Structure 1
Amino acid sequence: MVVVMKLHSSMEQIENVNSRLRLCGFQTHMIRGVKRIVIGAVGDWQAVNASGLENMPGVEKVMRIMKPYKLVSREVKEENTVVRVGNVEVGGPGLTVIAGPCAVESEEQLLTVARAVRRSGANVLRGGAYKPRTSPYSFQGLEEEGLRLLQEAAVQTGLATVTEVVDEESLEKACRYVDILQIGARNMQNFRLLRLVGQAGKPVLLKRGLSATVEEWLMAAEYIVSAGNEDVILCERGIRTFENSTRNTLDLSAVALAKTLTHLPVIVDPSHATGKRELVGAMSRAAVAAGADGLIVEVHPDPATALCDGPQSLDPGEFDVLMGSLRYLAEAVGREI
């Protein structure tokens, strides 16, 4: 349930309500909106007297949340959450563009891409250091050396950075080097890892699982938020269907739906969704039109020699053309780059 506090309630009144809820066995979360504070309370509804809570000083109303995901629901927070990373705002009026190689391969490769995507207007640099691959013989990433190179690229370009974490060890190391932690599709329901990133104190990019429903996706986000981290960015990256002419099936209806169900920002990965660079531009524009708060696009200086996902990667020139087309579209839907 949520307890909505009155507009001018005092901190003492808020803490009194918070203490009453904890005494009744609830796990509480303070959600600070633009106009008022809401206390999210997870626990047994029957363990507390709702009418008694409503009579406490400073309380406006008490509402029961019917969705299985509580803290990420729009029932708890009506206005959009904006995740701030330095001077980047994901979910704000601007369109956030994350770009970079699927995997960090070398210092030269990463810096070449970082400088190029920065010039074209990207906000965040992506790069995989730990690569969970379908085949054990595929390139698995440079691990901590890749993290160090990401940090160096950030220093030289001013871009924020994001990379995937796959376990407790990679999480502990990534926290020392990058700004945003990514949970990949294969780990969307790795619940222990979700709780750990929820305690890590860094924004989290949560990709939708290969066959996950929208509700399962939001429940995964609930794990992170319930562990104490409200800075979660959802990412639609395509789901597995019977269609095999593209790598996955990009579910843009899930983007529009998620925006109605949750206050969290939603971005789209057209690269993994399609698996084909010639489709990335069209699906990027479609994602913006569908209401996505941003994109994550794979860019490589020479896709033909990429150690990972070359067929879906744009080269810097192609990415620059894409960014040019997005500026006009973003303006048409009330966004900006």
Structure 2
Amino acid sequence: MIIILKPNSDKEKIKDLLDSLKSRNIGIHYSEGKFVDIIGLIGDTSHLDINSVMASSDIIETVKRVSEPYKAVNRKFHPDDTVVDVDGAKIGGQNFSVIAGPCSVESEEQMICIAKAVKKSGAKLLRGGAFKPRTSPYSFQGLHDEGIRLLLEAKKETGLPIVTEIMSLTHIDLFADVDVIQVGARNMQNFELLKELGKCDKPILLKRGLANTMDELLMSAEYIMAGGNSNVILCERGIRTFETATRNTLDISAVPLLKEKSHLPVIVDPSHAAGIANLVEPLSKAAVSVGADGLMIEVHNNPPKALCDGDQSLTPVQFDHVMEKVKMLAAFENRIM
């Protein structure tokens, strides 16, 4: 249920209304918009009568029921775009930010080399996998806590905020200095992990699962926001289909649809979507054109010798070329990079 307030409502009356609603043991999400203020009621509101709510205060313009199961992430609750600010790197609204770096952290020399290169090309955040979920137990699993240390060293050298994936609640203490915690596709519905991340104050980058619907992605985001963490970034990274020519199939239509359904920023990962390096550029350009708020691109200084996902990784020179194209398109779309 949402309560839409009359324009220029008295602040004291708003406070009284909020206090009255909270006394009914209902979760409250208050959104001050550019043109209208909205109070979202979260929880079981079936017992509330719309007419009685309307009559409870003269500052109420209208009351509507929300049919979707996700509330806090719903654009009806929060009409304005959410902008997630990561140490000055803004994602959402008119802002467009690129996250770049290797699939896996391999060495200090590698991380610093790549970090300097992607920053020079215009990336605003540095990615790198310290913990790697792999299909085979015999594949490289990442450097774990040593990988996070090397990411932090690269941050010291370049000033780029770091993004890395968490796989288990047992690792959460290791992420104290990580700027953005990524939840990978395989953990999108790890609800215990999502609930714990809802208690922290760090931005969460939530990737869509390989075979999950958009509503399921939004419900996973709801778990995080229900815990109190409103800094959530959604990521479309391709879904599994019958097509075998690419690693996954990028659902480009998900971007405008998610932005229609939710106020949260949406970025695209063209590297995992395609699994092929030369498809990263066209998919990146498509992402800008359909309104994505950013990109996550894998970059490696020597892709043929990468310990993980070399086939989809760009060299720094290739990444610089892609960034030139992205900057031109972003400027055309009036986005701020």
Global fold match (TM > 0.5): yes
1:183 alignment counterpart = 183
Is the 8 Å Cα contact of residues 233 and 265 (structure 2) preserved in structure 1? Answer: yes
Question: In the alignment, residue 187 of structure 1 is paired with which amino acid?
Answer: N
Q: Distance in 1 between matches of 2:249 and 2:180?
A: 26
Question: In the alignment, residue 265 of structure 1 is paired with which amino acid?
Answer: P
1:212-255 CA-to-partner distances (Å, cap 9, x unmatched) read: 01111111111111111111111000000000110000000111
Q: Distance in 2 between matches of 1:138 and 1:80?
A: 40
Q: Is residue 229 of structure 1 aligned with residue 214 of structure 2?
A: no
Q: Distance in 2 between matches of 1:99 and 1:90?
A: 14
Q: Is residue 322 of structure 1 aligned with residue 309 of structure 2?
A: no
Q: Distance in 1 between matches of 2:108 and 2:94?
A: 33
Deviation at 1:36, TM superposition (A): 4.6
Relative to structure 1, is the Cα distance of residues 86 and 37 closer, same or farther in structure 2, using a 3 angstrom cutoff? Answer: farther
1:137-194 CA-to-partner distances (Å, cap 9, x unmatched) read: 11111111111221221122111111111111222211x1211111100000111111
Q: Distance in 2 between matches of 1:7 and 1:170?
A: 47
1:162 alignment counterpart = 163
Question: In the alignment, residue 125 of structure 2 is paired with which amino acid?
Answer: V
Is the 8 Å Cα contact of residues 71 and 77 (structure 2) preserved in structure 1? Answer: yes
Q: Is residue 18 of structure 1 aligned with residue 18 of structure 2?
A: yes
1:249 alignment counterpart = 249
1:80 aligned counterpart, secondary structure: coil
Which ranges of structure 1 fall in alignment gaps of 5 or more residues?
Answer: none
The 5 Å alignment of 1:85-96 reads 85-96=86-97
1:240 alignment counterpart = 240
Q: Is residue 171 of structure 1 aligned with residue 172 of structure 2?
A: yes
Q: Distance in 1 between matches of 2:185 and 2:320?
A: 27
Is the 8 Å Cα contact of residues 165 and 183 (structure 2) preserved in structure 1? Answer: yes
Task: Let me know the Cα RMSD of the aligned residues.
Answer: 1.6
2:46 aligned counterpart, secondary structure: helix
The 5 Å alignment of 1:1-337 reads 1-55=1-55, 56-174=57-175, 176-337=176-337
Is the 8 Å Cα contact of residues 29 and 77 (structure 2) preserved in structure 1? Answer: no
Deviation at 1:274, TM superposition (A): 0.3
Q: Distance in 1 between matches of 2:40 and 2:110?
A: 45
Once the two structures are overlaid, the 10-residue window that deviates more, 291-300 or 142-151, is 142-151
Normalised to the residue count of structure 1, the TM-score between the two structures is 0.95
Question: In the alignment, residue 157 of structure 1 is paired with which amino acid?
Answer: T
Question: In the alignment, residue 295 of structure 1 is paired with which amino acid?
Answer: L
Which ranges of structure 2 fall in alignment gaps of 5 or more residues?
Answer: none
Is the 8 Å Cα contact of residues 21 and 48 (structure 1) preserved in structure 2? Answer: no
Q: Distance in 1 between matches of 2:314 and 2:276?
A: 9
Normalised to the residue count of structure 2, the TM-score between the two structures is 0.95
Is the 8 Å Cα contact of residues 150 and 177 (structure 1) preserved in structure 2? Answer: no
Deviation at 1:38, TM superposition (A): 2.6
2:249 aligned counterpart, secondary structure: coil
Q: Distance in 2 between matches of 1:226 and 1:117?
A: 35
Aligned pairs, number:
336
